[in-house]
Amino acid sequence: MTVEEYNTTVDLYADNLYRFILKNIKDTEKARDIVQDTYEKMWLKVSDVESTNAKSYMFTTAYRTMIDRIRRDKKQGAMTEADLYSLNHSRQYSDLKEILNDALTKLPEIQRSVILLRDYEGYNYAEIGEITGLKEPQVKVYIFRARTFLKNYIGAMENVV
């Protein structure tokens, strides 16, 4: 890949990559760091990466970097975390996006990742398997389970509105 192709790739996919990471970890600073690390790793291997595979390489690298960051953070823990939703006294929601985001946070890490890659980013099952390192049938199972959980969690639209 040439420097021009690298710059084009960064311009084309920076927003999608950031959005994918942010949806998974819900921390803007960590998401920015992960995206920056991804571009740094890609820059170090710019001569090895084909321009046709750059998008897949970026998402795979970002996903693995995110997983490493999550595992590291679980070991360290945060001293000042507070669950703002538990402090809320009203259980009536009027924002469907908030309900969906809340439901997504309740999913296991792998299910959240595959559902975001499939439904938010538009990847097919094979591409998701390549990014996450899963086999295609596993991807389908995780997506099915995530969608079933989301359907049961959100319930009927009459209950939400």
Contact 34, 76 (CB under 8 A): no
The three-state secondary structure class of 133 is: coil
Which pLDDT value is given to residue 89?
47
Taking every pair of Cα atoms in the chain, the longest distance, rounded to a whole number of angstroms, is 55
Identity at 110, one-letter amino acid code: I
**Final residue in a domain of this structure, among 57, 78, 99:** 78
> Is 83 part of a structural domain of the chain?
no
Q: How many domains does the chain have?
A: 2
Write the pLDDT tens digit of every residue in 42-89.
Answer: 888 888 888 788 888 888 888 898 888 888 877 775 555 555 555 554
Retrieve residue 45's tokens.
Answer: 């291997």
63 and 126 together in one domain: no
> Is 38 part of a structural domain of the chain?
yes
What range defines the domain where residue 124 resides? 88-161
> Is 140 part of a structural domain of the chain?
yes
8 and 61 together in one domain: yes
Write the pLDDT tens digit of every residue in 77-136.
Answer: 555 555 555 555 455 545 777 878 888 888 888 999 998 888 888 888 999 998 889 999
74 and 2 together in one domain: yes
Residue 138 has pLDDT above 80, yes or no: yes
46 and 67 together in one domain: yes
- Domain CATH for 120: 1.10.10.10
The three-state secondary structure class of 49 is: coil
